[in-house]
A = this chain, B = another copy of it.
């Protein structure tokens, strides 16, 4: 009953009729999306966390998730493990999975590291980027400008991500690129928040232009500084934003 899959298979399960569904009241919306692809579960839970649908500190119930995706607990646990390894949730032994509470101080520290990595990527990109790579970055800058011109924060947010990813790739250090992407992904939700700050999109765009200029001219030190500042500003803006909400702040 609780596992819709097993019932329709021709084989008979020994004593499968153990107990009638004791939680059948919960909504099971995903009726249509049987056959979830591997990784879908992970992505869905991640999305819930990043969008704030799952609040920090909240417990994630394995059984509920299993029902929601119409799978057993096994793949759900797998997904939870992966999310824990990325740092999005915390697995307390014998207690379960909880959405991680990230303090403001911790976020600022993460932005600080991100700034360093982006700066490094910029420095290397300025030295190593070839003709085609630079053209691609230029294109993405243009896309950012278009999005900004139409005041479309969602589009800007998306193009911005692509812009930075292109720089990671351009640095010629695949490991750095993957580490930077990982952190970028991790800070996604908080980056987005800043776009609400008035004029931030325009400022960001101006910074992007200077970054491209520096990379194009091959000025490694400048590219490093511009990118580092670009991210550092985001960290500060984020801190401002938070401070404006909460008067008391323990941000070291």
Contacts and interface: CB of A to CB of B under 8 A. Distances in A.
A175 B102 CA distance: 11
Nearest to A78: B81
A120 interface: yes
A72 to B, nearest CB: 12
Which of A82, A113, A117, A175 gathers the greatest number of chain B CB atoms within 10 Å? A175
Contacts of A242: none
| Total identical chains | 2
Interface in A104-128: 106, 109-110, 112-113, 116-117, 120
A175 B113 contact: yes
A175 B110 contact: yes
B106 A175 contact: yes
26 contacts: A38-B93, A77-B78, A78-B81, A81-B81, A81-B82, A82-B85, A85-B85, A85-B86, A106-B174, A106-B175, A109-B173, A109-B174, A109-B176, A110-B175, A112-B173, A112-B175, A112-B176, A113-B117, A113-B120, A113-B173, A113-B175, A113-B176, A116-B116, A116-B117, A116-B120, A172-B252
Interface of A: 38, 77-78, 81-82, 85-86, 93, 106, 109-110, 112-113, 116-117, 120, 172-176, 179, 252
